[in-house]
Structure 1
Amino acid sequence: MMCADLDQSPRSLLVCERSSFLDQKNRVNTQVEQMHFNYKVSVLLPECSSAPHHLDAVFNSFNSFYLIRNLPVYELLEKHFLETTVYQGSVYGVSYRTRIDEDNCVALMPNGHLSLSLDKDSFELLGVEGKPSRFNHRTNCRFLVSVDLTDSSMAPGGRGYQRLITGLRSRLQLKADFLLSHHAGGGDSLQALLSRYDWSEHRPEIRRHILTDLSCPLLTSDLQSCDPHSFLEWLGAADAHISCENSSSSFLSALVCPEPKTTVSRALSVSICGLLLPQDVHRLIQQIRCYLEQPRLESWASLTVHGFVDSPVSWGNEEHGVLRGGDNFYSLLMFHDHTYHLHLATGAHDTCPP
C-alpha cells in the first residue's frame, strides 16, 4: 500500500520576475552571485543545431575544480590557507556525497563564511555556538554552525579561532570528501593544501543533444498565456529528453506542452555538470545575449542553473534543507529585445528566494 504522503508531489516555492537587462535595477547579477554552489547548467537554443564559436568557447572554458578525498575540515582554518585563499575571496567548497538530512555537511563560501550542518551528537562534540536547524520537526536533531572566517574574532590565535579549530582537531575530527574551486588564476593558492592529500582535478562535463520536431510553448516576452509552473515542467522535460506529446500508447510520461504551442524543427540542448562558478555563469549569460542579437528564426533562449541538492546553504547564506524535494534552482528565459523572465525555485523546506 502506498504511503499517504507519497501520493502527492512535494510542495515547492517559486518566485517569478519579469524585467530587462537594460534596466539598471535588474537583479540577474545579484541572483547569479547568490547561488554559490551550482552543479548543473542547462541551455536550450531553439532552431539551432550547433552553437556558434563564441558561445561554444564559453561552454568549454568553465573553470576546473578539485576533489579532495578525506579532507579534515580543520584544514580550511589553517593559517596559510586562510591568508592565500579565504581572505582573497572567490573560493568555493562543499562536502561531496554527504546527505543534508542524514550526514554532517560542510560549505565554504566566497565571502569567507564556513557553514556546518551537524547532527546533534557532532554538534555537542564540537562545542561551539550554533543554532537548531530550521528544518527540525519535533525535536532538535540537527544544528547549524555558521562562522565568518574573515571576522577579527576568528583570526588565527584568537579565542574564537582556537575554540573552533580545537573542536575540529581534537573532539569532532570531522572529515569529508570535498569539492573545491577558485576563480580563474587562483588555483595556485590551493596547491599547498592539495599537496597534503589525495586529490584529482576535474573539468566540467559537457553534453550536447539535438532535439528534432520539438513541441514548445509559443514564447513571447510578455508570456501572459503560459503558466510558470507549466513552462518549467516543459523545460525540465526537454532537458531530460522526455517527450511531451502524451500519446495514448506511451506510459512513460503524462507531460504535455503548454498551450498555445508551436513546433521547432530542431533545438540544441547543452548541459554542463560539475562545481560551477557564478563567474562562469555570468559569462555564459552575456554570450547568450550576444547570440540573441543576431537575426534568426527564434528570438529566445533559456538557461537553467541547479544548485547542489545536499549543500548546507542555497541562496546567499540561507540554510538549505531536504525532506522530499531539495530543489534550489533558477531559470532565465531571455529574449532578443533584452527582456527576460527569471524563475527562482526552492523546495518546501527552504526560505523564499531573495
Structure 2
Amino acid sequence: MLCPEVWRFQAPVHEILEKIGTIDRKKPKKNVIVNGIRSHHFNQMITIILPDVTSIPPTLETILADSDHYLVRNISLQSLVARPFIEGFIKRGKFYAVSFRTRLDTEDCVVVTPGGTLVLHLNKETYQTLGLEGRVSQFARKRNSKYVVQIDLKTLQPETKHYERIRKCLSRETLGRFDLQITWTPPEACNSTDSSATICPSSVASYFAEALAGELEPTAVKVELMPTVVKVHQEYGLKVPEFSLIEQPGKEYCSAGELIEYMGMLALSCDTEEEEYLNSYDFSGDRVEIGNAKVMHWKGFFTTAHVESVYRALLGALERESHVPWLGMYVHGFSDSPISFGMRENYFHTDGDNSFAVVVNPKEEYLWYQLVGNNKLPK
C-alpha cells in the first residue's frame, strides 16, 4: 500500500474572528472581551502567559483555588427535569453540565446551559425512538444522521401533559444513561442576611448523591470530585513579539495570528530559536528581549464566571507589572460539546475546535482572537 502524500493535505479551515481596540471601563456593557467570555459556557482549559515577570502574582495563582467540579456517573436524564432539581438549581444560580468522554460525531451528547436549556445531540436511531421534537444537525443534512433537541427546563410546568411526556421520553432505555461533568454557581446574595449567602456550590453534588439514592438502582449512580489540575512552567531567554495598536515609525509588528501562534508555542514549551535547520520558527515584526516568561495552566471544567475572574486578575497584574510587553490568556472549550459560542452548534467533522485568546498590553490595548469550526462539510 502506498503512503498518502500527507504534505498535500490541506489544513482544516476555521472561522477566525479578530477584534482590536482599547478597553473602555466607562462602558462595561460594550466590553468585547467580557461579552465574548460570557458567550462561551463550556471551558476545559485556561492558560495564562506572563512575559518578563519575576513571579506569578498571588491573585492569579489562587484565583481558581475553588474551581473543582463533579462527575455524576450513570445518571438518567429524567433526573434533570425533576421538580426539586429545577426549583433548587436551574431557577436559582447557574447550573452547567456536559457529557463526559462522549464523541460528538458518533455518540449521543448532552449539555445543560447556565440559561437552563437542555441540549441533546443525538444519533438518528436514538432520535427516532425518543419521541421528542427536534431538528437535523446542520452538519448532517445530507444523511440526516444527527439531530438536535432543545428543552427549556425553566419553563417546564409539573403535572402537565407536556411535562409528563418529556419526563417519559428522557427515561427511555434507548437513550440510556450518561456520565455528566457538572458544576453549579449559587445565586448571588442581595445582602449578608440572605439565606442563599450560605449555600455552597457542592450542594449540587449532595443533591445527586442523596436524591438519587431512592432510584431502582441506587448503587448505579455515583458522584465523584474532579479536582482542577494546575501546571506551571517557565521559559527562558526569549525574544517576544511586540503588540501595539499605534504604528510607530521604523517599527514593524507581527500579525494577530503570529502573536497567538507564538503564545501557543510558549504554552507548549516549544523551541523558538531560529538556528534550528529542520524545525525552525520565525515571525515578522520587531522583538523584545526578555529574561523569562511564566506560563500557568488550569485544566478542569470552568464556568464563564471562572474565566472572567482570571481575566480581571490578569488586568490587575498588568497594572502592577506595567513594564511587561503584554499579558495573554488562552481558553479552550470542550471539543465534543454540542454548542460553542452562544447557542451555536459545534463543528465536529474535523477537530471540534472552539477557543479564544486575549492579549492586553500596559496601554490597555487588547486583541480578541476567536477560533471556531467553519460550519462547512469537508470535501
Tell me the TM-score normalized by structure 2.
Answer: 0.85
Deviation of 1:4 after TM superposition, in Å, equals 7.4
Contact 2:126 2:175 in 1 (8 A): no
Q: Distance in 1 between matches of 2:143 and 2:334?
A: 26
Deviation of 1:338 after TM superposition, in Å, equals 2.1
Contact 2:208 2:223 in 1 (8 A): no
Aligned with residue 99 of structure 2, among 74, 95, 116: 95
Which residue is 2:116 aligned to? 112
Deviation of 1:162 after TM superposition, in Å, equals 1.8
Distance change >3 Å, CA 295–CA 108, structure 1 → 2: closer
* Structure 1 residue runs without a partner (length 5+): none
Query: Which moves more between the two structures, 25-34 or 203-212?
Result: 25-34
Which residue is 2:339 aligned to? 313
Contact 2:242 2:325 in 1 (8 A): no
Q: Report runs of 4+ in structure 1 exceeding 3 Å deviation.
A: 3-6, 221-224, 246-250
Deviation of 1:203 after TM superposition, in Å, equals 2.1
Contact 2:244 2:253 in 1 (8 A): no
1:18-29 equivalences in 2 (<5 Å)? 18-23=20-25, 24=27, 25-29=30-34
Which residue is 1:263 aligned to? 289
Deviation of 1:189 after TM superposition, in Å, equals 3.8
Q: Does 1:338 align with 2:364?
A: yes
Q: Does 1:237 align with 2:265?
A: yes
Contact 1:101 1:323 in 2 (8 A): yes
Give the SS at the match of 1:176.
strand
Q: Distance in 2 between matches of 1:320 and 1:234?
A: 26
Q: Distance in 2 between matches of 1:17 and 1:279?
A: 22
> How many residue pairs get matched?
345
Which residue is 1:44 aligned to? 49
Q: Distance in 2 between matches of 1:277 and 1:9?
A: 31
Aligned with residue 4 of structure 2, among 2, 5, 20: 2
Distance change >3 Å, CA 145–CA 5, structure 1 → 2: farther
Query: Which moves more between the two structures, 70-79 or 95-104?
Result: 70-79
Aligned with residue 33 of structure 1, among 38, 52, 57: 38
Amino acid at match of 1:210: Q
TM-superposition CA deviations, 1:19-46 (whole Å, max 9, x none): 2322512222221111100000000000
Deviation of 1:284 after TM superposition, in Å, equals 1.4
Contact 1:325 1:348 in 2 (8 A): no
Which residue is 1:226 aligned to? 254
Amino acid at match of 1:343: Y
Contact 1:292 1:299 in 2 (8 A): no
Amino acid at match of 1:98: T
Distance change >3 Å, CA 102–CA 3, structure 1 → 2: farther
Distance change >3 Å, CA 159–CA 256, structure 1 → 2: farther
Give the SS at the match of 1:8.
coil
TM-superposition CA deviations, 1:81-138 (whole Å, max 9, x none): 1111111131110001001111100000110000000000000111110000001153
TM-superposition CA deviations, 1:291-326 (whole Å, max 9, x none): 111254314100111110000110111111211121
Q: Does 1:217 align with 2:241?
A: yes
Q: Distance in 1 between matches of 2:121 and 2:246?
A: 41
Contact 1:81 1:193 in 2 (8 A): no
Contact 1:65 1:180 in 2 (8 A): yes
Q: Does 1:77 align with 2:81?
A: yes
Q: Does 1:180 align with 2:182?
A: yes
Aligned with residue 139 of structure 2, among 135, 158, 182: 135
Q: Distance in 2 between matches of 1:163 and 1:147?
A: 12
Q: Distance in 2 between matches of 1:117 and 1:30?
A: 26
Give the SS at the match of 2:238.
strand
Q: Distance in 2 between matches of 1:172 and 1:133?
A: 20
Amino acid at match of 1:73: L
Higher Cα radius of gyration: 2
Give the SS at the match of 1:322.
coil
Which residue is 2:206 aligned to? 191
Contact 2:70 2:205 in 1 (8 A): no
Amino acid at match of 1:215: K
Give the SS at the match of 1:170.
coil
Which residue is 1:283 aligned to? 309
Amino acid at match of 1:330: F
Contact 1:216 1:258 in 2 (8 A): no
Q: Distance in 1 between matches of 2:318 and 2:159?
A: 54
TM-superposition CA deviations, 1:251-283 (whole Å, max 9, x none): xx4433443223321000001000011111111
Amino acid at match of 2:346: H
Deviation of 1:285 after TM superposition, in Å, equals 1.1
Deviation of 1:175 after TM superposition, in Å, equals 1.3
Percent of aligned pairs with the same amino acid: 23
Which residue is 2:129 aligned to? 125
Give the SS at the match of 1:234.
helix
Amino acid at match of 1:216: V
Q: Does 1:165 align with 2:191?
A: no
Which residue is 2:227 aligned to? 203
Which residue is 2:19 aligned to? 17
Distance change >3 Å, CA 320–CA 54, structure 1 → 2: same
